[in-house]
Amino acid sequence: MNKKLITLLLGTTLALSACGTSKDNASKPANEGGTTTTSAGEADNIYKNKCSSCHGANLEGAFGPELKKIGSTHSKDEIEKIILEGKSGGMPAKLIQGDQAALVAKWLSEKK
């Protein structure tokens, strides 16, 4: 009974946290190179709004794994694929999409 209750509560928490939105999701104007204007601060804000409930506010891990040194084991492309496609064991797909997924993946890949 307790195991079922914990699983239900964690699943509900994960689902509700995935539903959050942020005003930071507005698109930015393109620069001369045709890419979106981005910064580490934007990636950090996206992470805090979409990922921190599972991976911790300081990348320390919680329900999801620690990400403090994720860039030492995964490339930007691998991280972006996980963000877009999810991963078995609880990582839902498409919490972040498009340019924002690429931005967060680049930011996380620098964590070594």
Binding residues for heme c: 51, 54-55, 91
CA distances from 25 to 21, 22, 33, 47, 88 (A): 8, 6, 21, 11, 26
Backbone angles phi, psi at 55, to 5 degrees: -105, 5
Binding residues: 51, 54-55, 91
Backbone angles phi, psi at 105, to 5 degrees: -60, -40
Helix 40-50 to helix 98-109 angle (10° resolution) is: 100
Which of 71, 97, 72 minimizes the C-alpha distance to 83? 97
Amino acid letter for position 17: S
